[in-house]
Structure 1
Amino acid sequence: MDDLLDAAVRLVAIPSTADRPECLQKALDLVVDRAGPGFTVERFRSGGKPSALLYAPGRRPAFRAILNAHLDVVPAPAEQFRPVLRDGRLYGRGAQDMKVAALVMADVFRSVAREVPYPLGLQLVTDEEVGGYDGTGHQVQRGVTADFVVIGEQSGLQVVTESKGILQVRLHATGKAAHAAYPWLGDNAVLRLTAALGRVLDRYPVPAAEAWATTVTVARVETAGRAVNQVPADATAWLDIRFPAGDPALAGRDVAQIAAYLRDLAGVEVSVDSLGAPHHADPDSSEVRALRAAARDAGYPGGLLRKHGAADGRFYSARGVDAVIFGPGGDGQHGPDEYADLATVEPYRAALTTFLRSLQ
C-alpha cells in the first residue's frame, strides 16, 4: 500500500490536462512503467493524444477482457496538483477520477496477465475528459476488441451497467445591431437566444433531485458584441445534454436528426459539436455476475448502478461489446475537494483479481 500511495502521489501531482501534451505523456509513461517489463506495449497517437495497450508478448489478440483507465484530468488550480494525504483519503485533482484506480489496474494486470488462461489487455488513454475519441475511440477503430471491458471509473465497488449518452451543441441566434438608446431600431439576439433556451428548458427542466431523465446544462452564453451601448446582433449558447436510452427524441438518432429536432424545439440555428450514444451492458451476463460476486467476496454488496456521466464504455457498447464501470470509492469528482477513499483500494484490488481469475 505504501508503494501504491507513493506512485499515486506522484501521478496526481502531474497536471495531465488536455492542453499539456507533455504531462499527458508523463502520466502515461508512469503507469506503463508501473505495469512492469515483459509485456508488449503498443503505442497509439491521435489528435495529439497518446495512449497505450499492454498485453502478454506477441501479436495483439482479440482479448477476453480489457482493463481500461484514463489518465487525463479536468483543469484545476495549481494547489489541487499538490496531493494531500489526510484521514484515510488522498486529496487532489484526479485522485478519484481516476488515477488511483489506474494504478491498481496496472498492479492487477502485472500480477495476473501471465497466469490467466486467456488474453488480457490493459488500455491506458489520455483524452476521456475531452470525449475519448482519440484514446479508446481511436483504439477501437484500429481493431482493439474484447469480450468484456472493465473501466476503472469511480463506483464504490458497485457495477455500472448503464450510463447516459452525451450531446454537446451550440444554439445560434441572430438579430440586428442598433444603438442601445434606440432598441426598437434593432433586434436583440440575446433576447432571441434566451427565449430559445427557455423553450429547451421547458422541454427538459432541471430536475429537483436525481432522476434518470434527459438533462440540459447551459454551460456558456456569448455574443461577439463588446460594447454595452449596442444591441447585440448575434448570440451563442453552449449546451451539455445527457440523455438515457429511453429518450426517443435523442437516443438512436444521428447528428442531422438531432440538429433538426433541436432546431424545431428552440426556434434558432443549431450546431452539434459531439454526440456519444448511451452505454448499456447486460446486467445478467456471466461476466457481470462474476464481477458482482467478486465485489461481495471483498466485503461489498456488489450492487448495480446507473451513472449520469458518459464514459468510454460507449465506444465498446456501440460495437456490441459489454463494458462496465467498476472502481474504488471517493467523492468530489471535478471539484475542489476531490479525494480517493483509501480504505476501498485493497478491496478493489482483491475484487479485480478474483474476477479476472474466475473468467473462463
Structure 2
Amino acid sequence: MSKTSTDANPIDIAEKLIACPSVTPATGEVFAVLEAMLKPLGFTVDRFLAGEAPDGPVENLLAWRTTGPGRHFAFAGHLDVVPPGNGWASDPFRPEIRGELLYGRGAVDMKGAIAAYVAALHDLPEDLPGTISLIITGDEEGAAVHGTLALMERMAAHGLRPDLCLVGEPTSSRRLGDVIKIGRRGSVNMWIHVDGVQGHVAYPHLANNPIPRLIRILSAIDALVLDEGNDWFQASNIEITNLDVGNPTTNVIPAAAQARISIRFNNEHGGTELVDRITAIAAAEGGRVEAKISGEPFLTEPGMLSDMVAGAIRDVTGVEAELSTTGGTSDARFLSRLCPVVEFGLNNATMHKLDEAVALADLRDLAEIYRLVTAKALAS
C-alpha cells in the first residue's frame, strides 16, 4: 500500500493520539483520529457509545479488515488515559520530543502501542489472507464496565471472533521486550459491615460494640493462607485496605464498623468461591459482606502465540523475553474468554507518572515487532 512516511511513522502517529485529551471515560476526538488512520488501510470501522454516567458514556472502536479465508488476529488496547495531575514539565496533552524521548500522557499507557500497531499495518504484505481486527476501548483505566465487554458483544453481532489476540499493554520492565504477560491474577474487593448498638462507654451493658467483632473477623481473614502459588502464578494475597467506624467522639460506643479488603488471586481460586469464604467468616460474628469481582484469573499456556511474540522480540531486539503473570489486571481478562491472548508492549517505568515518556527507538522497534507477529499469525 502506498502511504507517506508520516502515515507509517509510529512517532508521528503517537503524537497525533497524545494530542487528543482522553481522560477516562474517553470519547470523541481521539477515536476520530484513529478512525481516519484506519479507513485508508481498508478497515471497516464501527464506533459506538456505551453506558451512562457515572461510568459512561464510553466510546469504543472496532475495526476489521478481511483479505480472504484464514486466521483472525486481533490487537486490543485502550485510548483512555488517567488524569495527568499537576507538575508536568510540559503540557501533558501537547506531545513534546526532548532528546530521544517523546513526552505526553498516554505515551506509554498506551497510545504509543496503538501507534506502533497502526504503523505496523502499513508494512504488512497485501496478499496476507485472513482477518485483522483492532479492539479499542475508552474505558480500561476506569470502571471497565462499558468498554471491552461491550466490544465483545459488538464483535459477536458482526460475526467476528479472533483466533489469537495481542493486547498492547506496557509489559516491558527494564528494556523493551524483556517481559510478555501470558496471564493475570484475578481481583475482588469486599466491604465488611458489622452492626452494633450505640451507647455511652460508661454503660457498655446498654450498648453492643461492633469493633471487637470486626477485629475478630479481620484477624481470621488475616490468618488465611490461600495457597503457595504455582508454576505460573505467585501466591494469592489478601490485604486489608480500609477500617472505619466513623466515630469522632471519645465517650461513645459506635453503632457500626466497616472494613474493606482486596484479594488478588491466582488460578487456583474463583472470585465467587472467595466471596463465599469471606462471607462465612464474617457471618460467624454477625457481619455481612458486599463484594465486587473485578476479574477472574486467566492463563494462556506457553505455545504458539507466546512463541511468535518472543521470536519477534528476539529478531528485532535480541532480547530473550520472560513469560510472566505478575502485575495488575487488564482487559485481557475479558478477551481470554474468546481465544488465546498475551500482552506485550512498551517499558512501563513511567506509566501513570508525571512526565510519562517513551523512547523513540522503542516505538520504532515495537512497530516492527508487531508487524512480524501479525504477519506470522496470519501466515501460519
TM class, shorter-chain normalised? 0.7 to 0.9
Higher alpha-carbon deviation: 157-166 or 188-197: 188-197
| Cα distance in 1, alignment partners of residues 350 and 201 from structure 2 | 44
Q: Give the match for residue 258 of structure 2.
A: 236
Encode CA deviations 1:3-35: one digit per residue, 9 max, x unaligned. Answer: 6445535544555333xx5x4333333333333
2:146 and 2:215 mapped to 1: Cα distance? 34
Following the alignment from structure 1 to structure 2, what is the Cα–Cα distance between the partners of residues 216 and 75? Answer: 28
Paired residue for 2:365, among 343, 347, 355? Answer: 347
Amino acid at match of 1:322: P
The Cα of 1:336 is off from its aligned counterpart by 4.2
For 1:45 and 1:180, locate their aligned partners in 2 and report how far apart those are by CA, in whole Å: 54
Q: Which residue of 2 aligns with 1:82?
A: 91
1:95-130 deviation digits (Å, cap 9, x = unpaired): 322121122122223543854211000111011223
How far is the alpha carbon of 1:217 from its aligned partner? Answer: 3.6
Q: Which amino acid aligns with 2:298?
A: H
What secondary structure, in the 3-state scheme, does the structure 2 residue paired with 1:97 have?
coil
2:194 is aligned with what amino acid? A
Of 67, 70, 73 in structure 1, the residue corresponding to residue 78 of structure 2 is 70
1:313 corresponding residue in structure 2: 332
The verdict on how the C-alpha distance between 1:115 and 1:52 changes in structure 2, with shifts beyond 3 A counting, is farther
Residue 59 of structure 2 aligns to a residue whose secondary structure is: strand
The answer as to whether partners of 2:63 and 2:134 remain within 8 angstroms in 1 is yes
Inter-CA distance 4–58: structure 2 relative to 1 (3 Å threshold): closer
- Partners of 2:263 and 2:73 lie apart in 1 by 31
Segment of structure 1 superposing worse, 178-187 or 146-155 = 178-187
User: How far apart in 2 are the matches of 1:186 and 1:52?
Assistant: 57
- Worse-matched range after superposition: 75-84 or 266-275: 75-84
Report the equivalent of 1:122.
Answer: 134
Which residue matches 2:312? Answer: 294
Q: Secondary structure at the match of 2:27?
A: helix
Change (3 A) 1:236 1:336: farther
Q: How many equivalent residue pairs?
A: 344
Displacement of 1:349 = 0.9
| 1:318-329 equivalence runs, <5 A | 318-319=337-338, 321-329=339-347
Which residue number corresponds to residue 137 of structure 1?
A: 149
- Using structure 1 for the length normalisation, give the TM-score: 0.81
Residue type of the partner of 2:297? P
Range 70-79 or range 294-303, more displaced: 70-79
CA distance in 2, matches of 1:199, 1:85: 53
Q: Residue 120 of structure 2: SS of its match in structure 1?
A: helix
Separation in 1, partners of 2:346, 2:28: 24
Match of 1:31 in 2: 34
Q: Distance in 2 between matches of 1:223 and 1:133?
A: 30
1:223-280 Cα shifts (integer Å, max 9, x gaps): 555666643322333333211113xxx33x5x3x432211123453111222411121
Partner SS for 1:146:
coil
Counterpart of 1:105 in structure 2 is 117
Contact residue 75 and residue 166 of structure 2 kept, 8 A: yes
**Does structure 1 residue 333 correspond to structure 2 residue 351?**
yes
CA shift in 2, pair 1:119/1:198, >3 Å: same
C-alpha distance in 2 between matches for 1:76 and 1:181: 51
| Percent of residue pairs identical | 26
User: What's 2:299 paired with?
Assistant: 280
Letter in 1 for 2:60: S
TM-score normalised by L of structure 2: 0.77
Give the corresponding residue for 2:234. Answer: 212
Unaligned segments of structure 2, at least 5 residues: 52-56
TM-superposed CA distance for 1:173, in Å, is: 1.9
Moved more, 133-142 or 288-297: 133-142
Query: How far apart in 1 are the matches of 2:375 and 2:345?
Result: 18
Which amino acid is the alignment partner of residue 216 of structure 1?
Answer: I
Tell whether 2:185 aligns with 1:164.
yes
Deviations 1:43-79 (A, max 9, x none): 23322211111112799x9961100011223344144
RMSD after superposition: 3.3
- Please say if residues 35 and 109 of structure 1, whose CA atoms lie closer than 8 Å, have aligned partners that are also in contact: no
Q: CA deviation at 1:179?
A: 4.0
Listed one character per residue, the Cα deviations across residues 300-346 of structure 1 (whole Å, up to 9, x for unaligned) are 22332222311111223234x10000112231433446443443221
Counterpart contact for 2:168–2:344, Cα < 8 Å: yes
Alignment partners' CA distance in 1, 2:104 and 2:204 = 49
| Greater share of residues in helix | 1
Partner letter of residue 160 of structure 1?
K
Distance 1:92 1:238, change over 3 A: farther
Q: The residue matched to 2:108 in structure 1 has which SS?
A: helix
Alpha carbons 1:34, 1:107 under 8 Å: kept: no
Shift of the 57–75 alpha-carbon distance from structure 1 to 2, 3 Å rule, reads same
2:107 aligned partner: 95
Structure of higher CA gyration radius: 2
**CA contact under 8 A between 2:316 and 2:369: conserved in structure 1?**
yes
- Of residues 219, 230, 237, the one that matches 1:198 is 219
The answer to which of 289-298 and 176-185 deviates more is 176-185
What are structure 1's unaligned runs of at least 5 residues? none
**Where does residue 49 of structure 2 map in the other structure?**
45
